[in-house]
Amino acid sequence: MEAQHRRGETPQARPAQGGGGGDFTAIFTVLVSFIAIFSMTVIPSASGFKNSLSIVHQVPEGHVGVYWRGGALLKGITDPGFHLKLPLITHFETIQVTLQTDLVRHIPCGTKGGVMINFEKIEVVNRLHKDFVYETLREYGVQYDNTWIYDKIHHEINQFCSVHSLQQVYIDMFDQIDEKMKDALQADCTRYAPGIEIISVRVTKPTIPESIRRNFEQMEEERTKVLISMERQRVAEKEAETEKKIAISEAEKNAHVSKIQMEQKLMEKDSSRKQEEISNEMYRAREKSLADASFYQAMKEAEANKLKLSPQYLELKFIEAIANNSKIFFGDKVPNMVFDQRLLGSFLEDVARKGNWEA
């Protein structure tokens, strides 16, 4: 009975419980609506469905915000930070205006000789100038880099490969591909999309058929051997040239030393000759002085003798000579001898007198 009574009371209590559930449902509905409105008006979102519903949105640093209203691109561009827009009417996107790297993968191309090669990766560092964001997006859309970087790289690589051989692409001109791609991309961007600046292009080594790669490796090995041989030959030539220069230097040094020694000997000979000339000159001067002295002495003696040649002096000498004789002979010739001596004295007097007159 009690159980039945309790079961009978249950229907009476249900109306009160049902009324409480209706209040909870209303409160839950209001709360969900509030959260939805709050998320639409306050919480910023990035893109897609939330992008269309949100009022507040955020533009990160290094980007600018661009807006479309009814599918039409607006000229207004916002800087980094929080901004407001009309939900469901205005759509926005963030566009990077700092340096960015676009990675282009798997670019097949055929060389001039018909060999197919593949560039696994090409990196293009570029930048969209802030002042040209509106014009660039209006002409080429948000994915502008697909037109002017990704597709353009494919085109330029194929153009380059088609006019060059595998040897040129893979080895000879590979170091020039970076600059050629950069110049080609920048030329078209400058003409058609001036807001895009190509900073640099980095090209990785392409993959080539295995058989050709082995041939290139063998060629490179042979080239390395040739370079080693050439380097050895160059070293040998340098050593020979060095030895030649050393020999020439040694010969020049010996010749220079010999020249100096020869000049020294010539100087010694010249010095000896000058000394001999000085000695000869001194001897000649001394002999001349002696000769002059002898001549002077002889002249003086002659003058003295001339002064002595008087009759009286000769007669005196004659008498002294006779007196000095140890033997005297007497005979009939003595008077004649005396007479002759007197005649001789008279003759000498006449000669002396004539000499005085002439003087």
Distance (Å, rounded) from C-alpha 280 to C-alpha 15?
Answer: 168
Are residues 51 and 45 in contact, defined by beta-carbon separation less than 8 angstroms? yes
pLDDT at 16: 43
pLDDT at 18: 46
Split into its structural domains, the chain has a count of 4
Angle ∠(325,305,338) on CA atoms, nearest 5: 35
151 and 245 housed in the same domain: no
- Tell me the mean pLDDT per 10 residues along the chain, length 359: 38 44 67 55 45 79 93 91 87 93 93 91 95 93 92 94 91 91 94 94 91 82 88 91 90 89 89 88 87 85 75 73 64 52 57 56
Are residues 157 and 119 in contact, defined by beta-carbon separation less than 8 angstroms? yes
pLDDT at 146: 93
Rounded to 5 degrees, what are φ and ψ at 72? -95, 130
Tokens of 166: 């595998």
Distance (Å, rounded) from C-alpha 239 to C-alpha 68?
Answer: 77
| CA-CA-CA-CA torsion sign (159, 163, 169, 173) | negative
User: For residue 59, what are the domain limits?
Assistant: 21-93
Distance (Å, rounded) from C-alpha 256 to C-alpha 261?
Answer: 9
275 and 340 housed in the same domain: no
30 and 130 housed in the same domain: no
Last residue of a domain, one of 69, 93, 117: 93
89 and 63 housed in the same domain: yes
pLDDT at 214: 85
Are residues 73 and 137 in contact, defined by beta-carbon separation less than 8 angstroms? yes
pLDDT at 336: 53
Task: Answer whether residue 113 is part of any domain.
Answer: yes
> What is the DSSP annotation of 92-132?
EEEEE-S-EEEEEEEEEEE-TTS-EEEEEEEEEEEEE-GGG
pLDDT at 6: 37
* Cβ partners under 8 Å of residue 165, min gap 6: 111, 112, 113
